[in-house]
A and B are shown apart, each in its own frame.
Chain A
Amino acid sequence: MGHLVSLLLRGTHSDLTSFFSLLFLGVFLPAAIALYAITPSKWKKYALLVTSLGFFRLVSGELVLYLLGSILLTWGFGLWLGRLHRDRDAAVKAAAREDRKALKRKFLLRSRWVLGLAAAAHIGGLLTVKYTGFFLRNVNTLLGVELPIPGFVMPIGVSFFTLQAVSYLFDVYRGVQEADGNVLRVGLFLSFFPQIVEGPICRYSETAGQLWNAGGITWRNLTLGLQRILFGLMKKLVVADRLNGFVDGVFTGVDACQGGVIALAAVCYTVQLYMDFSGAMDAVAGMGQIFGVTMPENFRRPFFSRTISEFWSRWHITLGAWFKDYIFYPVTMSGPSKKLTSAARKRLGNHYGPLLAGGVALFCVWLCNGLWHGAAWSFLFFGMYHFVLIYLGSLAAPVVKRVNTRLGVKPERLPYRIAQTVRTCLLVVVGELFFRADGLRAGLRMFRKMVTDFRFDSISIPMLKDLRIDPQDFFIVGVTMVIVFVVSLLNERGIVVRDALEKKPTALRWAVLYALILYIIIFGAYGKGYVPVDPMYANF
């Protein structure tokens, strides 16, 4: 027992942040499931909370205090806002009809202050731990001073659970969510261990109740959940980690690489990021299912998108939705924006009218999106890049439509759709190039090389060998991508492979599962010659 406690107190078991590490998959998760299973129904929620806080403690050590503080603040501010709403309702009821509007207004202003304070506390904390270094470094360079840069350690998942906290408070403020008096339920909502490392960013209405009322583990949920984790493991181990050495080699040794190689590396990085991140999300969803909780999906076949704006509603969905609900609409629906939109519509028409206010809001969204990913100019550029693409897309839409009609092009035809999809993917790849590059300057240099110095014949086998990858690696990556593609295609048509498999005879189901397991064991990029790769979104 003493040993267990000391293990818990030691903290910083960074292995655990990867859901696909042996320590997590082989030890922590089975222990968590076992603890959950043997806990009587009434107490299961507490088992989940203890496991979650313990997980955070193991990974981030004493920084668990930051999480606990965050939980208390969220709970407290939620109650304060709820209280204001109740007072308002009582006052409005008691007041004369003609005074009601003014009263409502008074309370609205007050709760707006409270929300501002709460958001400032949360976002302020996030800004402090995440951006102080970036800010001071730039101040130092710009002003030629040498302010000391404090080495803040970021608590694991701070970028994710902060957004969850703010969304809850925002919802309470808007009156779409009751304030929760139970600090433990708020705590479980923020800290549930599968979601805390890389999201998805959940809404209170989505998971808090489910987690709190999570029931026993059923055989069906357990097996289906494990299967989903297995699929994620394949994405991560066979594709993402196999590409890692090559991508890393090109991005850190840009000068030696030809444009064609850089283009290949940019494509590989995009694939790697998708497989790594969506694989981790498969694991989260699978773990959720084991505990009987449906987690929101974070990816919906993003590379099937026809436009950049569609891409962002299919890639890291919960982040995009967060920005839309808590930045985009609040900005565009605010009084001044609405006035601007109305006025602009009269002059510019229905299409261009809203683009003024919408543009401002969109700019804010992408500024935040870029900065959320990290404090660096390259991330800001990444945000602005997508802002410009989406905005241009909207500006050009009527023109494109007119041209299409004039030329007799039918946008619903397959070739046109495929062309659109390919174009969107290429634009995404360029964006990811800047996203991954070691600073904005390196990104620009790589982009220039890729455009001005592109030759297919620069990609040769000896050159690839130098970069720790060979045609066989690409072959197996390709095969796995086809598997993922087929599964995606089925998903797009509403067929879930695991459910379909469930109805088949046991022999067939087991054969498929064994095949998948052996596939991962044989073709996974692990062991001698490979470096284990940390989950790519855990540091954002």
Chain B
Amino acid sequence: MKDTLRHLLSGVLFLALGLGLLLPFSRLFLPKDNSAEAGIHDPTPNGILGEPEDTIDVLILGDSEALSGISPLDIWENSGITSHVCAGGNQKLFLTREYLDRAFAGQSPKLVILEANCLYSNMGRMELITHWAQRTFPVVRYHDRWKSLGLRDWQGTVSYTHTHMTKGYHYNTDVHPANAEDYMAPSDEAAAIHPRNRQWLEGIAEACGERGAQLVLVSVPSSYNWNSPRHNGVEALARELGLTYLDMNLMPREVPIDWDTDTRDYGNHLNYRGARKVSLFLAEYLTDSGLFRDKRQEAEYAAWEQAWQYFRENAVSVPG
């Protein structure tokens, strides 16, 4: 018995010491800047780290629907409200939560938009454990940087300098029409949302509440991903949690998506034409909320005006 106790103790001590040992290595391996050259994964959504403190009004989270359907620069041009998309392809809620926390560290957005498609990507237990390890011990996520460790990594000073040109938006002008005949046909069914996803959404809502940010669920039009049962599922959950839900799939007048011209991949994602329509609507919605002031004339926000100008000059086309 005494032996068992001793063994148990040394086992626990070994583990604790080992985990403690991971901390200095995590500091070493964490990228010291948020640029691709500095080795950060996903520099696009992480561009928000390089934005000056407390300059982002609206944080936009979600998966590829969000990053290809919402263009912060178009929102800026039409409302003078700043926003940033922090989303990746097939991004699940645990990563969404990480981006939320990371954004809150340097920004105080008054409104957080969550694109609802990710509520239907389920998370496996193993994924969750892996992500927890990666988040807690960055050496697990960034271990491959052993190939490029430099002096700065040993000094350990972190400073984020990179900002993303289109503020997390993925610019694309391909056109591959969708067949959207039966799209959003009415239904009484409600697609179930996995309890684990619900739990994570509640966590996100709580975190937003603590920081005084309003959480809004939106659905960017997608004839491929969205349908009435999913709409009903999200709407019921939003009502239960007291959240606003805007489904742009059901707003043909406000967001007049033409499925022949506005999608880049047969109704899965919007192209820039579609994203522009969504963003114009959101600009109006955000202005009407009365939460934000128009900063287009303010000197501190000149960089935003420049970013918009650069985007307009270099984008192939900015329709209507």
Q: Let me know if chains A and B touch directly in the complex, using CB atoms closer than 8 Å.
A: yes
Chain A interface (Cβ < 8 Å from any Cβ of B): 15, 22-23, 26-27, 219, 470, 472, 506, 510, 513-514, 517-518, 521-524, 527-529
Contact A472 B147, beta carbon cutoff 8 Å = yes
Contact A521 B7, beta carbon cutoff 8 Å = no
Task: Known contacts A510-B14, A510-B17, A529-B144; decide if A518 and B25 are in contact (CB<8 Å).
Answer: yes
Cβ-defined partner of B129 (8 Å) among A22, A514, A523: A22
Interface residues on B, range: 20 to 34
**Does chain A have a CB within 8 A of B140?**
yes
Whole-angstrom distance between the Cβ of A359 and the nearest chain B Cβ: 51
Q: Chain B interface secondary structure, helix, strand, loop or mixed?
A: helix
How far is A23 from B10 in the complex, measured between Cα atoms in Å? 25
Contact B25 A527, beta carbon cutoff 8 Å = no
Residue of A nearest to B41 (CB): A528
Contact B130 A523, beta carbon cutoff 8 Å = no
How far is A15 from B127 in the complex, measured between Cα atoms in Å? 13
How far is A372 from B126 in the complex, measured between Cα atoms in Å? 35
Additional A-B contacts beyond A27-B126, A510-B14 (13; CB < 8 A): A22-B126, A22-B129, A22-B130, A219-B4, A472-B147, A506-B10, A510-B17, A514-B21, A518-B21, A521-B25, A522-B29, A523-B143, A527-B141
Cβ-defined partner of A470 (8 Å) among B134, B140, B147: B147
Contact A527 B143, beta carbon cutoff 8 Å = yes
Cβ-defined partner of B143 (8 Å) among A22, A514, A524: A524
Whole-angstrom distance between the Cβ of A174 and the nearest chain B Cβ: 45
Contact A23 B126, beta carbon cutoff 8 Å = yes
Contact A527 B147, beta carbon cutoff 8 Å = no
A15, A22, A27, A470, most chain B CB atoms within 10 A: A22
Q: Chain A interface secondary structure, helix, strand, loop or mixed?
A: helix
How far is A148 from B56 in the complex, measured between Cα atoms in Å? 63
Cβ-defined partner of A523 (8 Å) among B25, B134, B141, B146: B146
Contact A522 B17, beta carbon cutoff 8 Å = no
Contact A219 B7, beta carbon cutoff 8 Å = yes
Whole-angstrom distance between the Cβ of B139 and the nearest chain A Cβ: 6
Cβ-defined partner of B144 (8 Å) among A23, A514, A528: A528
Cβ-defined partner of A527 (8 Å) among B7, B22, B129, B140: B140
Residue of B nearest to A15 (CB): B126
> What residues of chain B lie closer than 8 Å to A514, measured between beta carbons?
17-18, 21
Contact A527 B139, beta carbon cutoff 8 Å = no
> What residues of chain B lie closer than 8 Å to A22, measured between beta carbons?
126, 129-130
> What residues of chain A lie closer than 8 Å to B18, measured between beta carbons?
514, 517
How far is A521 from B141 in the complex, measured between Cα atoms in Å? 10
Task: Known contacts A22-B126, A219-B7, A514-B21; decide if A522 and B139 are in contact (CB<8 Å).
Answer: yes
Contact B129 A26, beta carbon cutoff 8 Å = yes
Residue of A nearest to B141 (CB): A527
Whole-angstrom distance between the Cβ of B150 and the nearest chain A Cβ: 14
How far is A506 from B11 in the complex, measured between Cα atoms in Å? 12
Residue of B nearest to A520 (CB): B143
Q: A-facing mask of B18-32, CB < 8 A → 1, else 0?
A: 100110010001000
Q: Which of B1-55 contact A (CB under 8 A)?
A: 3-4, 7, 10, 14, 17-18, 21-22, 25, 29, 41
Whole-angstrom distance between the Cβ of A6 and the nearest chain B Cβ: 15
In the complex, 18 of the A-B residue pairs with CB atoms within 8 angstroms, ordered by the A residue number, are: A219-B4, A219-B7, A472-B146, A472-B147, A506-B10, A510-B14, A514-B17, A517-B18, A521-B140, A521-B143, A523-B143, A527-B140, A527-B141, A527-B143, A528-B41, A528-B141, A528-B144, A529-B144
